[in-house]
Chain A
């Protein structure tokens, strides 16, 4: 089974190379890209089912034992996030194909998309800090190209700030690697977990905070989020949707992994609590001020990241479990919301709320897809977003953190308010002239994502159980550490 780990990373990369070999012919490109993404999804689900009951599956690359070689690790956490992400990759790919034609995502799209998928898989599966750097770079370089390839004059500045800030984050990552390697002499995460405990408090705190800053930029935590609402809305819809669903969440997954494995685990983290609160508030206030659907949703990405940081900050099983479930739920919901925003833009020719209206009358099916996601992101029962939010509040009450709970509930209300703003401007009112029509492929792919988001409600019990066992694994990292270090090459 362990061969699936390197295969999950390699198959999309090989697929990317093959799509370039077949040239600009779209059909073979789609077949190659589609089967590579489907393989990644299948591999992720197989791994999730395999590790759900048992120990993590470890693959030692090159046959070197850990910590000398590079380990790929599939545990419950990484496979849960990877399986959800890969599912979204499949849905968005279908949407992108349906959008081809007039909104033309051309031949260049497939190779970049596959490289991005490979980077996501490597970042989530790797058990080595420097390999994580490489995984992030693979993911980011693909995202740079996807974001910039169709830009016009207005948009190029936003993409430049995205590239520059991420390059700066990569430089900080190198500094982090220098300090970690200098202090401990290892970069294997499992090996590090044992050695960080022996470091002087000052060095350990510095490493923990530097990790928070480096991965915080990728995850768009306050105050390092300002690049996100600028750059995301400028890309074509499938690209924005996959960025919104995956990139920040992968960043956040790494924050959760590194903070639980290497950070202090004795009591709530004050830094993270403040960061979480500020991220939520600033994100939602930014969303309220905006007029463009995609920009509103981009600010909500930031705001929702705050909730994940909040659960992590409690450093309790209940808190981390709610965070993990929240993260996975957001991967689905955010992808879906951006796909719908793309449909609205397509039909009306604009994403500006002031020039929208009447979608409910013209395309009731789109409204029916939007409503459950909007209510889910605001945390209204019985929709999917309610379960992790309830978990967060309960965990906060257990951890005696009344302040942050009050903030999070207020932010939920404001989230609902800005969703109503989209609803009343774009879906109610008199229809604006039709600019285009979203095909059945676009609607169908979006409906799949929405169905997955709604399904969370029906499997809330098992999902919460899985998240709780993930949180238990994360907080007592012994299982992870021993299975990596003892795995045969």
Chain B
């Protein structure tokens, strides 16, 4: 079980890295989503313990509720920021007519390329 989660987490991180290195903004956003899912899975892999539902007054063998709280918070934050990034991508598309991230003109000018 745990090796599956670990393989899944690293697979997601690898795929996400590949997507982030692309020029199209939509792929970058999907890549970021995959990487943060990988990170969330890693939190579970590294710290989740199995057991009963963690309610006050339960048995001794209770599951640790903290990793779930952490992952839940992280998911909410990622969700909000992804929405912001999508809005930004739309804006970029409306302004430039393309989904690709452009070069920095000032950099190219100073580098002597233009």
Interface residues of A (CB under 8 A from B): 130, 133-134, 137, 141, 144-145, 148, 151-154, 156-161, 163-164, 167-168, 170-172, 174-175, 177-179, 181-183, 185, 187, 230, 289-292, 295
Contacts and interface: CB of A to CB of B under 8 A. Distances in A.
Given A161-B101, A175-B39, A134 B73 contact: yes
Contacts of B104: 157-158, 230
A178 B46 contact: yes
18 contacts: A130-B70, A133-B74, A137-B81, A141-B80, A151-B91, A156-B91, A157-B103, A163-B84, A167-B32, A167-B78, A168-B32, A171-B35, A175-B39, A177-B43, A179-B42, A181-B47, A181-B66, A289-B110
Given A178-B39, A178-B42, A156 B96 contact: yes
A144 B84 contact: yes
A290 B110 CA distance: 7
Contacts of B110: 289-291
Contact of B43 (A154, A159, A181): A181
A286 B85 CA distance: 29
Nearest to B16: A171
Contacts of B73: 130, 134
B43 A164 contact: no
Contacts of A156: 88, 91-92, 95-96
A136 to B, nearest CB: 10
A174 B76 CA distance: 13
A168 B35 contact: yes
Given A160-B25, A167-B81, A174-B43, A154 B105 contact: yes
Chain A contact residues: helix, strand, loop or mixed? helix
Contact of A141 (B43, B47, B84, B107): B84
Interface in B36-67: 36, 38-40, 42-43, 45-47, 66-67
A134 B70 CA distance: 10
Contacts of B74: 133, 174
Contact of B85 (A154, A167, A182, A183): A167
Given A156-B92, A156-B96, A144 B39 contact: no
A141 B84 CA distance: 9
B88 A163 contact: yes
A230 B110 CA distance: 13
Interface in B78-114: 78, 80-81, 84-85, 88-89, 91-92, 95-96, 101-107, 110
A157 to B, nearest CB: 5
Contacts of A151: 91
A114 to B, nearest CB: 17
A141 B25 CA distance: 19
B95 A152 contact: yes
Contact of B42 (A164, A174, A183, A185): A174
A230 B104 CA distance: 8
Contacts of A171: 32, 35-36, 38-39
A160 B25 CA distance: 9
A-B interface, 9 closest residue pairs, ranked by CB to CB distance from nearest: A182-B46, A174-B39, A178-B43, A178-B46, A178-B42, A153-B95, A181-B47, A182-B47, A171-B35
A170 B77 contact: yes
A137 B110 CA distance: 33
B49 to A, nearest CB: 10
A145 B81 CA distance: 10
A313 to B, nearest CB: 29
Contacts of A154: 105
A151 B46 CA distance: 41
B111 to A, nearest CB: 9
Given A170-B77, A182-B45, A183-B46, 18 more contacts: A148-B91, A152-B95, A158-B104, A160-B25, A160-B92, A161-B101, A163-B84, A163-B88, A164-B20, A164-B85, A177-B43, A178-B42, A181-B43, A181-B47, A182-B46, A230-B107, A290-B110, A291-B106
Contacts of B43: 174, 177-178, 181
Output the residue of A182, A183, A187 with the most chain B CB within 10 A: A182
